[in-house]
Amino acid sequence: MLDIDHFKRVNDNYGHIIGDEILKRLAALLKTHIRQEDTAGRWGGEEFLLLFPDTDLAGAQRIAQLLQHAICVYEFPAELSQSCSFGVAQWDRFETLNDRLNRADSAIYQAKENGRNRIELSVH
């Protein structure tokens, strides 16, 4: 899961049209940097959910690092640079979907508390 850092500032300072364009471009950027078997989609607001089948926690962390770099170097509309905070959680077949999502979401909050533009892992 990832959350765009300081996205409210973009909407407040540049307007929702620019904010919407950033969301669209980020979605396209994610799709070009993941494998064909992976899934990326907007989860809500400025959050995106990414699914990496048959990938362990270390592999998901590596993919998140590649995405983090691609996002940081991409030139978004209005010549804005963006960063994202990532929360990575590995699938545990004994927990519910909500448990997994909550773990990833908690890891995002930890990334934001630790300075943003970070990747935090949720080890179960």
Domain boundaries along the sequence of the chain: 2-122
Whether residue 61 contacts residue 122, with contact meaning beta carbons closer than 8 Å, is answered with no
- Which is the catalytic residue, given 21, 46, 75, 120? 46
What is the chain's mean pLDDT, rounded?
95
Distance from C-alpha of 55 to C-alpha of 86, rounded to nearest angstrom? 16
* Cα distance between residue 63 and residue 67, in whole Å: 6
Which residues of the chain, if any, have pLDDT below 70? Answer: none
* Fold type of domain 2-122: Alpha-Beta Plaits (3.30.70)
Q: What is the pLDDT of residue 71?
A: 98
The rounded distance, in Å, linking the Cα atoms of 82 and 69 is 10
47 is catalytic: no
- Angle, helices 16-32 vs 57-73, to 10°: value is 130
Position 53, amino acid: P
- % of the chain surpassing 90 pLDDT: 94
